[in-house]
Structure 1
Amino acid sequence: MSTSVVVTGIGVTAPNGLGTDDFWSATREGRSGIGPVKRFDASGYPSKLAGEVPGFVATDHLPGRLIPQTDHMTRLALVAADWALADAGVKLDEWRQFDMGVITASSSGGFEFGQNELQKLWSKGGQHVSAYQSFAWFYAVNTGQISIRNGMQGPSGVVVSDQAGGLDAVAQARRQVRKGSRLIVSGGVDGSICPWGWIAQVAAGRLSTSDDPATAYRPFAADAEGYVPGEGGALLIVEDAASARERGARIYGEIAGYGSTFDPRPGSGREPGLRRAIDTALADAGLTAADIDVVFADAAAVPELDRVEADAINAVFGPRGVPVTAPKTMTGRLYSGAASLDTAAALLSIRDGVIPPTTNVAPADEYGLDLVLDRPRAATVDAALVIARGYGGFNSAMVVRRVAK
């Protein structure tokens, strides 16, 4: 029998809440963190809205020596990791360093740090470029800084699969726990809200150009025109269930199933891979569609992508066969942080018996979804499916479920 792998801690830095409690309270109440970009002047760009983490002052949470060597994204990740470990009741001095690892996802690395150093290079010369540029921009930097800060020397790594990455990283953490690691810090925290990162996102052609935060991001709506990007995410403490129980840890739920696929070449005429990812995750969990109480949707807000997702959900569950929610309408799409934040929300749904809402969306009937709208829905949630897709064809699906006490 495969080792049961569970989540014992959650750390969140999100546009609608700094910390898990603030995020979850705002999400249940339908409060959005989307607004005009504040981190730089976006007035000259076609897209001007973002989900930015509120009230985050890095020096309130981290030692001063870390500030000059880290990107804003990494500071958010370090704090999320601290909070997740505290939430899990992990006392680092009681753990062997090789029993703990870190596996995170990244979509771009520390873009803002890299931009600042490139500007120094262009304007002042190479002698003014920070030595920390050698790693502060890198995809693996969050993994590296978290592992160094907490003395974690077990299996570690980084997964780069755009917005599917948050699930792929947690799945890799589950693999490492099944191989013998006791604890892995996993998930994704991202952030590229700077001119260099912004133009890269605009170039993809999927960002909403609306200036109204209340109507800019409308997945599964007839007037959907793209998504709003954001920063932040969630980190989870992933453990062996037996070890977690032995130390008396509180368990949010089990990582029960996972599947990933890659879409076929455009124009090939072959079916998109999302349904196969969902079917694989259900089979891995030993569950059927009838066992799933809610689906946390990827919610691209790009009509052709929404159609693919709705078709996959309906093929598995039947039209309006399962409640579907997209709380990322309150945060924006957080790239590698998006799916791990949805996973955190799914685990909190299991704990509290409530499905968070999708806000500011009038869904089109043609999608055939039972979308939970505007206010939370009370429900017994024993198992949840989280869907994530990355730019270029990545598809991932994960099942989390309640653990019997």
Structure 2
Amino acid sequence: MTITAPGTAPAAAATRTAVVTGIGVVAPNGLGTEEWWSATLRGESGIRPVPDHSTRPGQAPLIGLIPGFEAADHLPGRLLPQTDRVTRLALVASDWALADSGADPAALPEYGMGVVTSNATGGFEFTHREIRKLWTQGPQHVSVYESFAWFYAANTGQISIRHGMRGPSNVLIAEQAGGLDALGHARRVLRKGGELVLTGGVESAFDPWGVVSHIAGGRVSRSGHPDRAYLPFDTGASGHVPGEGGAILVVETAAAAAEREAGHVYGEIAGYAATFDPPPGSSAPPGLARTARLAMADAGVTPEDVDVVFADAAALPALDAAEAAAIEEIFGPYGVPVTAPKTMTGRLAGGGPALDTAAALLAVRDSVLPPTVNVERPVPGRRIDLVRGEPREVRVEVALILARGHHGFNSALVVLAPNRMAAAPAGVPAAVRHHT
């Protein structure tokens, strides 16, 4: 992972502003961007018992599960045998993001378009099914697609093939933090000459073995009550609820968006940074505060400019305390609204930060902050202004998104409203910098 510090980008980067023109969402509380956003503002949760387990209260494991998704309703039949559920979700989110942006890949240079996604779990369901065939029926029954359908890069590869995007493409694996690393890398691709990147993250790993793997990580809440299982910054915090889904964004240069007369711009990916925590036992502080400061410096904003922080929200007492301390250190006591709408979806690994970024961009559009649900007993002494229970109407021009992965990964991203974007290059109509 690269540590990105302010001032390291070439001067030419200022002429290649990375703007978001399309959003596609697949989430436990809504399929499609507007359906998910409306449910999020209503405080509707997608956390529910794992299928095929006991449904008695307090007994069934909980996940953020996407109900009612039928891949055959959205994708060609030829793709179904060669893809895991996670890749099908990613392909649909990508289709929706492109439709939202109005971009037509067939009309754009194929080597000017890339795909950069984050994925931390791969195609669990697909590979476990095929391994079961190997054990019980023999190798002749194993699908030839097992050679790649399980792999972390399958989402990037299948999206690239589907849309003829042959430019620089990558997958980033850093658990939760990777969801922001993908967006930061997409901006880097644009600065190096790309025109459009499909980027973000989608996860799904909830076949029976996948559920066991999540639990074995040691950070999953054992509560079986959906409204008391995932409680970041609450006295009852005892771990998170894992979930599936995420978001894919269309990110392109402002010049490219203007040239094709894009209908709208949600905002700019203006700042990004990533750091590592010090090794265990070190007296040095965690790296989250430093990461946030680097991202803000990269975006050219100060703490006073930031209108909202989308928290990582680990829901483990020590990690919550560290995040609250970092936010207070930067912004002062109760100095900025903080929210964690992921309490309605669960933590989506690499898909979660992309979904938080989508929420930040829609908060910019609609001047409203989504709530953190179910947190009824905030931990005393953690002086953060947590948006709880209900949405909060606030004009949002600068949003900071935080993410942490296992083993010390920290990432931060800053998005700006269109009216806060850097000056557009010569020849770029001002209209592309504003919503329609």
Confirm or deny that 1:108 pairs with 2:121: yes
Contact 1:257 1:399 in 2 (8 A): yes
Mapping 1:311-350, distance limit 5 Å: 311-350=325-364
Equivalent position to 1:287, from 301, 318, 336 = 301
| 2:414 aligned partner | 399
Confirm or deny that 1:383 pairs with 2:401: no
| 2:179 aligned partner | 166
| 2:189 aligned partner | 176
Contact 1:228 1:332 in 2 (8 A): yes
Q: How many residues align?
A: 404
Confirm or deny that 1:368 pairs with 2:377: no
One-letter amino acid of the counterpart of residue 219, structure 2: R
Residue 366 of structure 1: how far off its partner (Å): 1.8
- In 2, Cα distance between equivalents of 1:398 and 1:305: 19
Contact 1:47 1:209 in 2 (8 A): no
- In 1, Cα distance between equivalents of 2:194 and 2:59: 46
Mapping 1:11-160, distance limit 5 Å: 11-38=24-51, 40-41=52-53, 48-160=61-173
The C-alpha deviation readout for 1:34-58, integer Å capped at 9, x for no partner, is 01012x5478998700011122100
- In 1, Cα distance between equivalents of 2:37 and 2:54: 29
Residue 96 of structure 1: how far off its partner (Å): 1.4
| 1:299 aligned partner | 313
Mapping 1:208-219, distance limit 5 Å: 208-219=221-232
Counterpart secondary structure, 2:34: helix
Confirm or deny that 1:196 pairs with 2:234: no
| 2:7 aligned partner | none
Q: Equivalent pairs: percent with the same residue?
A: 59
Residue 324 of structure 1: how far off its partner (Å): 0.2
Instruction: Give unmatched runs, 5+ long, in structure 2.
Output: 1-10, 420-433
| 2:423 aligned partner | none
The C-alpha deviation readout for 1:193-224, integer Å capped at 9, x for no partner, is 11222222111110001111011100000110
One-letter amino acid of the counterpart of residue 379, structure 2: A
Counterpart secondary structure, 1:102: strand
TM-score (norm 2): 0.91
Contact 1:47 1:202 in 2 (8 A): no
- In 2, Cα distance between equivalents of 1:292 and 1:182: 28
Counterpart secondary structure, 1:109: coil
| 2:286 aligned partner | 272
Contact 2:200 2:247 in 1 (8 A): yes
Contact 1:107 1:162 in 2 (8 A): yes
| 1:251 aligned partner | 265
One-letter amino acid of the counterpart of residue 384, structure 1: A
One-letter amino acid of the counterpart of residue 10, structure 1: I
Residue 135 of structure 1: how far off its partner (Å): 0.3
| 1:228 aligned partner | 241
Contact 1:221 1:364 in 2 (8 A): yes
Residue 333 of structure 1: how far off its partner (Å): 0.4
One-letter amino acid of the counterpart of residue 152, structure 1: M
Counterpart secondary structure, 2:177: helix
Contact 2:368 2:394 in 1 (8 A): yes
- In 1, Cα distance between equivalents of 2:109 and 2:76: 24
Residue 243 of structure 1: how far off its partner (Å): 1.5
Q: CA RMSD in A?
A: 1.4
One-letter amino acid of the counterpart of residue 176, structure 1: V
One-letter amino acid of the counterpart of residue 380, structure 2: D
- In 2, Cα distance between equivalents of 1:373 and 1:248: 39
Counterpart secondary structure, 1:375: coil
Counterpart secondary structure, 1:365: coil
Confirm or deny that 1:4 pairs with 2:17: yes
One-letter amino acid of the counterpart of residue 357, structure 2: T
TM-score (norm 1): 0.98
Confirm or deny that 1:185 pairs with 2:198: yes
Distance 1:270 1:43, change over 3 A: farther
Confirm or deny that 1:207 pairs with 2:224: no
Contact 2:50 2:60 in 1 (8 A): no
| 2:4 aligned partner | none
Distance 1:269 1:43, change over 3 A: farther
- In 1, Cα distance between equivalents of 2:110 and 2:273: 30
Residue 93 of structure 1: how far off its partner (Å): 1.9
Which aligned segments of 4 or more residues in structure 1 are displaced greater than 6 angstroms? 42-47
Residue 92 of structure 1: how far off its partner (Å): 2.0
- In 2, Cα distance between equivalents of 1:90 and 1:268: 49
